[in-house]
Chain A
Amino acid sequence: MIRLNVNDEEIETDAEPDTALLWVLREHLGLTGTKFGCGAGMCGACTVHIDGVPSFSCLTSIDSLEGAKVTTIEGLSPDGDHPLQRAWIAEQVPQCGYCQSGQIMRAAALLEENDSPERAEILDYMSPNLCRCGTYNRIVKAVQRAAREV
């Protein structure tokens, strides 16, 4: 049994120790807001926070998470009303939406570090996360809108 702290809940899982956090979140815990895109750290669809640091859950095995706090899109805000989530809706960012949990989780970490990021800073910071629908420019607008509101 491996103990994990996910969204402030202590849970135990009987998954093998080398299982990727992504599979445990999605298929064992049913937290499917975190997405599988590449399994290789190349797309960012699986981005979660580990002790506040945006991380690829597809490349993180659960045995490395002893004592760590994992936050997923489901745990980012109590009612899905984090300033970024409100900004995402206001700017109508998502198209297919598949990448957007990962985008929002990475953007949340950016705002923790920098409360008024410039366009170029946002684009650089967000570049581990792919969006095939091409919502990048709206992401910039939404991050800046959220930054103004917090």
Chain B
Amino acid sequence: MQNPSATPPEALAPLTRRRFLQSASALTFAIGSAGLVTVSRAGASETTQEDAGTEITAWVRIDTDDRVHLVFPSTEMGQGSSTALPLILAEELDADWDKVEIDQLDRDDRSFGNPIFGNILYTAGSTAVYGYFDSLRIAGAQARRILMRAAARSWDVPVAEVTTEPGAVLHEASARRMSFGEIAALPIDDLSVPEVTEADLKPASSFRLIGSDLPRRDIPAKSTGRETYAIDVQVPDMLFAAVLRAPVEGVSAAGIEDSESLAVPGVLRVLTLPEGIAVVAERLEAALAGKDRLQVDWTGATGVLASDSEATLSDYSAALKNPTAERAVWSETGDADRAIAAADRIVEAEYLSDYAYHAQIEPMAAVASVDPDGLGAEVWVGTQTQTWTTRTITETLGTTADRVRLHAMTMGGSFGRRTALQQEYVSDALLISKEMGRPVKLIWTREDDVKNGRLRPAAAQRLRAGLTADGALSGWEHRVATPSVIAYFNALRWEQVRPKDIVSMRGSESQFYGFADMRAEHVLTGRHARLAPWRGIGASYTSFAAEAFMDELALEARSNPIDFRMALLASNPRGQRLLKRVAEMADWSRPRDQTALGVSFAGYGDSMAAGIAEIALERESGIITVQRFWTAVDAGLIVSPDNALAQIEGGIVFGLSSSLKERITISGGEVEQSNYYDYEILRANEVPEIEIHLERSEARPTGIGEVGTPMVAAAVANAFHALTGKRLRHLPFIPDRVQAALA
């Protein structure tokens, strides 16, 4: 990046080389998890990435023309973190937001990895704001101090007398002002990092950027077709590839008949990959046509993988009752068994949920250009983790990370899809490019994306609880039979966390209720599909079971579903406030004619949400329509309120879609669905009006990307019971199941 700024007068004098280095350059800052690590000078014409030559990423760079570059360490998939994270730093730095430019981190630089995930670069679990909040604020405050110190010194006034306004340091007593860019051009001799503690940070009352509704930076390009996703990348001399992947995991091709494919004009080669057959062509349409004409004899399906989802789910259900099945306690307080045994009545119910698919609208795609020596590459791909994508590249090519030029592209949705340790759409593109000696764009069709999806696992759950004679809860047990997701999608991580699988189990800890005696237990069942995190992870089904069961208990205790929950939330006043608020929003106690309300109280991580669904039912067809949805959410301090509303609303729509429609079935190891006609997601004419109350809070931010999803299914199921007196205990609530429940 060029720096066209006005050179300060003193720099025009004859310069020694040292003086030149000190003055006509940008000021750069490296950040670690505890704040700034180093401050240094860099040539203003160097880009952030080139600064890596010194092995230090300039997370913040202040150019002499006042531009402030902030590196964005997460990746953008629609959640808005690419605006929110830089904004947190800019707040404490007191930067002029209009001068801030945001640069995507494109390398596996773990000096500023996500602290929630052991400092790997990993964008998932609604953790970006929450994981980076403290370090960004401290780093911003430190950088601001350094600027103040330098300005004070050049004015020869005590640093205590200077202050800042957006983009500048002021000395009010002498009415002097220096912009950040002017300070960056000063010959600064003290580049030490000042100490800053929590107490030195801005109080929430003086925030200018945090909590205001600054527009997201990515929205203009996304409203004009100018945003570039991996699938859009074009590089000179690029070829196209389509890959026919094995229909069943672990199966290999016994015979390939490719003469018809090779006969398609423009098709160059048919290549055998580790798990598929690639057709490579000069044009995308030729690659796709060639792929359609491949005839492959797939053999070797093995027992476990050639499974049927219906049988899998009944196995999982059986495992719930099998005392010898492998189990791991996920969360435990007090003595659930004793409390339940001592209860007056015991209530028990079983819930099922099917496999689900991400259905992000951009199918998997990657562009790779492997260097002539085969040991380096430039790669353009959407990823939720620069770390594991870089690893995929180095492992595929047998090379080192310094030979990788990664472009972490904005994603057309992801929802957990692009998180895996091994990313076959990346390695396939590399292998093809290496073989062909040219850059290659690899595109999955929707059918490829569905058939080779990485699914939310199917699960069977059993809830058991005791009630005292006067209807109070006495012991809570939540057992979840589902495979470990982490063991499959990231074996390295599994070695660290085994046997605790947050992806499979989240939500079952029911942490918002102060249960005195509870146990959540993971029954680790066999894996019969390829799995991945999915929006809301475990909470998308554990909160369904827990909150549907909560209504069953309330009924048994002859209590109103809201009152019953209120009592359990006695030690959680923030939670009680949400429940009370949402009941008011929905006018809970007003009887409805043709519709009914159902409530749910769930959340994600430390973010809480109370939701109420109003549903109507077409009894003949078994179709449920959700007409209104109200929610009250507490996610701590909100960095970008308008974006938080958008994310929560999106999370609710995602939850409704999966509650009402989404279902992957597997037969003989093969996913039976293929496109949006048999894996339907919610359409515009099925979306309810959604009303959101966002609690104002100065507590730590706890994430908003997923909090909307987990509460939804139970709210719908509970409304269905209110309307019909019947329970829906198998997710999703497709018409067949609704009809069966009514029969």
Interface residues of A (CB under 8 A from B): 15-16, 19-20, 23, 26-28, 30-40, 42-43, 45, 72-74, 80, 85, 88-89, 92-101, 104, 120, 122-124, 126-139
Contact = CB atoms under 8 A, between A and B. Distances in A.
Contact of B361 (A127, A132, A137): A132
Contact of A38 (B78, B414, B643, B676): B676
B410 A27 contact: no
Given A97-B412, A133-B78, A40 B446 contact: yes
Interface of B: 77-80, 215-216, 218-229, 231-232, 234, 240, 265, 283-285, 359-363, 410-415, 443, 445-446, 642-643, 646-647, 649-654, 657, 675-677, 681-687, 689-690
A26 B229 CA distance: 12
Contact of A132 (B240, B360, B685): B360
12 contacts: A35-B229, A37-B362, A40-B446, A72-B225, A89-B219, A89-B223, A95-B647, A96-B360, A98-B413, A128-B683, A134-B650, A138-B649
B684 A92 contact: no
A45 B643 CA distance: 23
A42 B652 contact: no
Contacts, number: 180
Interface class of chain A by DSSP: loop
Given A38-B675, A127-B685, A80 B284 contact: no
Contacts of A104: 223
A96 B78 contact: yes
Nearest to A101: B225
Nearest to B652: A134
Ranked nearest first, the 10 interchain pairs of A and B with the lowest CB-CB distance are A33-B225, A97-B222, A134-B653, A98-B412, A96-B78, A73-B225, A80-B224, A95-B78, A134-B650, A42-B676
A69 B145 CA distance: 59
B234 A130 contact: no
Contacts of A33: 224-226
A27 B411 contact: no
Nearest to A142: B223
A85 B224 contact: yes
A88 B689 CA distance: 19
Contacts of A73: 224-225
Which has the most chain B C-beta neighbours within 10 Å: A123, A127, A137? A137
B362 A95 contact: no
Residue among B218, B226, B415 facing the most chain A CB atoms (10 A cut-off): B226
A55 B204 CA distance: 49
A98 B412 CA distance: 5
A46 to B, nearest CB: 11
Contacts of A101: 225
Nearest to A26: B232
A96 B684 contact: no
A98 B362 contact: yes
Max chain A Cβ within 10 angstroms of own Cβ: one of B361, B411, B413: B361
Contacts of A27: 234, 240, 283-285
B451 to A, nearest CB: 13
Nearest to A30: B234
A32 to B, nearest CB: 4
A133 to B, nearest CB: 5
Contacts of A100: 222-223
A118 B690 CA distance: 17
Contacts of B78: 94-97, 133
A94 B265 contact: no
A129 B684 CA distance: 8
B285 A16 contact: yes
B285 A92 contact: no
Contacts of A42: 446, 675-677
A18 to B, nearest CB: 9
A39 B445 contact: yes
Contacts of B220: 80, 89
Nearest to A84: B223
B684 A126 contact: yes
A16 B221 CA distance: 32
A123 B681 CA distance: 15
Contacts of A128: 683
Contacts of B363: 36-37
Nearest to B224: A80
A137 B691 CA distance: 11
A136 B415 CA distance: 18
Nearest to B656: A134
Given A42-B675, A92-B215, A137-B690, A20 B285 contact: yes
